[in-house]
Amino acid sequence: MEILQGQVSDEMLGQLSQHIGAEPAQTAAATQGIFATLLGGLANNASSENGLSALSSALDKNHDGSMLDDLMGMVGGMMSGQAQQSGSTNGLGMLGHILGDRQEAAAEQIGQSSGLNVGQIMKLMPILAPIVMGVLGRAKSQGNLGLGDLAGVLMGGAQQAQQQGGMGDLLGSILGSVLGGGQPQASAPQGGGGDLLSSVLGGIFGKK
């Protein structure tokens, strides 16, 4: 969560706020909720072998993390509608894979916690989804993560999101009402998803 939130600079937050017509504090709260929701959704998908394999293939094909090197350019292009559509920036497609037909239900939950309406959240979600996939893709490629490691990172991320202030209730309610009543069930590798998350992502993103 810290790495994801760290990708969103104050300048980007200001642009996103203007784009959806909201105060920066509201946009920041919604951004945190969206990141937590997408992590939870990915962990939920990765709880099955087929879902985990599909995610791994998508990361290998479209998400090497290179788009993180020019996030402002990517976000600006998506907000203006001038971004060249590709596998790494197709936010709507990513949301379809991660949340399916539960996107609006997720937006309602996030809106309740941030004070934004569903329309504003639905504008933010496809812009932020590529950031989540980019961070995960860079972690996979640079950390040489196998399928078990990938599941552990997602579980660690979802658990970390739950432990953050206010995120436990939010993510729990979203996973309960949106994802069908269960917490993510992927089994973390020995040592725990949180430990793997810290060691892998800390080494890749922690010392720029």
Give the separation between CA 153 and CA 175, rounded to whole angstroms: 18
For residues 2-31, give the mean pLDDT.
93
CB 62 within 8 A of CB 87: yes
Domain hosting 138: range is 2-203
Highest-pLDDT range among 29-43, 146-160, 171-185: 29-43
The answer to pTM > 0.85 is no
For the chain, how many structural domains are there in total?
1
Instruction: Report the percentage of the chain scoring pLDDT > 90.
Output: 25
Residue 163 CB contacts under 8 Å (≥ 6 apart), including other chains:
none
Residue 131, pLDDT > 90, answer yes
* Per-residue confidence (pLDDT) for residue 53, from 0 to 100: 87
List strand residue ranges (DSSP E) for the chain, in order.
Answer: none
| 109, part of any domain | yes
Task: Report, as an integer, the average pLDDT of 179-199.
Answer: 43
Task: Give domain status of residue 122, yes or no.
Answer: yes
- In whole angstroms, what is the distance from residue 15 CA to residue 188 CA? 37
* Cα distance between residue 78 and residue 20, in whole Å: 13
Q: Identify the pLDDT of residue 120.
A: 96
Average pLDDT, the chain: 78
| Any domain includes 76 | yes
**pLDDT beyond 80 at 102:** yes
Does position 161 have pLDDT exceeding 50, yes or no?
yes
Q: Is residue 23 domain-resident? A: yes
63 belongs to a structural domain? yes
Structural domain contains residue 208: no
- Single out the residue of 1, 58, 29, 49 nearest to residue 201, CA to CA: 1
